[in-house]
């Protein structure tokens, strides 16, 4: 019997601040999507790993962050287009909603300002500062952080994660996204389940199985007219696989992917199916931290004691 993990990259405007033309719909959907996901997860009693951009937990800032070793201009949008957009730069209200939820969600980190760790120009100093700052803010909020989700899944500086006491991260899905994923599953009958491993730094790597919004635009419209919502079908397939054998079905999304009501319907269909299968079988829903504790045989405070094979 396997388990299901759901992780969310919670970032409001920070997922796009470095882009020349931030996608308006996604930027504007961040707050609504956050609240909708919290409500749905409460309704179906599903705990998830919420990786939050640290800057969102500030009440205000000077838009410069002169003590932060980011490249020049990194925070420029805070001083220009988004100068009056506190709603996309800050979200302590939303983080309070998350921490106050009846469901036992895991609070995780998505860096301080969404720096891409895998980029060659992101040096060790910047990676360390991004982590340090987000962990400091988390500590101000009485949160201890075990899991890290890399901005844009750009994996890098894993040794720095380990040094700062992080214990897990999400790596890229071994299967493709969208149409490619459907092809893999139907033609090659591939498994959507992943297996956590412990890397050379003692960190637990929990790969993604499926990005729930990897199938968008006109391809989605065409596919929906033929198959209803193909992503719901894929997610159900992954959930079913986790009821049949060992392994993790790891779904992920950004709250700001919920840009239309049909996206809310997608999430409701997936979460209600998950709750139903959990009730009918021994299937469990885990957070990334639960996975860490299970595979290392430790708790939040204890050190890593590996019981699965090292890569």
Residues near Zn ion (CB under 5 A): 9, 11, 15, 61, 78, 151
Please, which residue, 3 or 153, has the CB nearer to Zn ion? 153
* 9 DSSP β-pair partners: 51
If the CB atoms of residues 151 and 207 are measured against Zn ion, the closer one turns out to be 151
Residue with tokens 């999304």: 253
Residue 110 vs 220, nearer CB to Zn ion: 110
Q: Of 9 and 146, which has the nearer Cβ to Zn ion?
A: 9
C-beta of 208: minimal distance to Zn ion in Å? Answer: 13
Minimum distance of Zn ion from residue 87's CB (angstroms): 14
To Zn ion, the closest distance from the beta carbon of 58 in angstroms equals: 7
Q: How far apart are CA 157 and CA 122, in angstroms?
A: 9
- By beta-carbon proximity to Zn ion, the closer residue of 191 and 257 is 257
CB of 75 to Zn ion, least distance (A): 6
Q: Please, what is the minimum distance in Å from the beta carbon of residue 278 to Zn ion?
A: 28
Q: How far is the CB of 254 from Zn ion (least distance, A)?
A: 6
Long-range own/partner contacts, residues 71-78 (CB < 8 A, 24 or more apart):
71/121, 74/18, 74/113, 74/115, 75/17, 75/113, 77/13, 77/17, 77/18, 77/22, 78/17
> Residue 212 and residue 286: Cα distance in Å, rounded?
18
Chain position carrying tokens 């050379």: 200
Q: Judged by CB, which is closer to Zn ion: 151, or 255? A: 151
Residue closer to Zn ion by CB (options 78, 263) is: 78
CB of 114 to Zn ion, least distance (A): 6
Q: Which residue is closest to Zn ion by CB?
A: 61
Q: Which is nearer to Zn ion, 209 or 241 (CB)?
A: 209
CB of 79 to Zn ion, least distance (A): 9
């Amino acid at each position: 019997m396997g388990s299901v993990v759901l992780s969310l990259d919670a970032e409001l405007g920070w997922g796009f601040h470095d882009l020349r033309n931030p996608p308006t719909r996604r930027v504007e959907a961040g707050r609504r999507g956050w609240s909708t996901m919290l409500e749905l997860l409460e309704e179906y009693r599903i705990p998830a790993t919420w990786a939050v951009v640290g800057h969102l937990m500030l009440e205000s800032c000077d838009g410069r962050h002169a003590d932060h070793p980011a490249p020049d201009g990194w925070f420029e949008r805070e001083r220009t287009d988004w100068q009056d957009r506190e709603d996309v730069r800050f979200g302590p209200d939303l983080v309070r909603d998350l921490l106050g939820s009846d469901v036992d969600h895991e609070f995780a980190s998505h860096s301080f300002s969404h720096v891409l760790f895998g980029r060659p120009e992101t040096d060790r100093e910047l990676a360390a500062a991004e982590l340090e700052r987000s962990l400091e803010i988390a500590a101000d909020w009485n949160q201890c952080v075990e899991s890290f989700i890399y901005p844009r899944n750009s994996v890098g500086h894993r040794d720095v994660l380990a040094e700062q006491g992080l214990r897990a991260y999400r790596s890229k899905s071994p299967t493709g996204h969208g149409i490619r994923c459907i092809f893999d599953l139907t033609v090659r009958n591939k498994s959507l389940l992943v297996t956590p491993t412990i890397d050379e730094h003692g960190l637990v790597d929990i790969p993604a199985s499926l990005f729930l919004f990897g199938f968008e635009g006109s391809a989605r419209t065409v596919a929906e007219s033929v198959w209803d919502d193909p992503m719901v079908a894929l997610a159900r397939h992954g959930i079913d696989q986790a009821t049949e054998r060992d392994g993790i079905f790891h779904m992920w999304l950004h709250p700001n992917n919920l840009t239309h009501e049909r996206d809310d319907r997608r999430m409701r269909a997936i979460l209600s199916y998950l709750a139903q299968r959990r009730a009918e079988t021994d299937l469990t829903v885990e957070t990334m931290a639960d996975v860490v504790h299970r595979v290392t045989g430790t708790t939040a405070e204890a050190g890593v004691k590996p019981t699965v094979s090292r890569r």
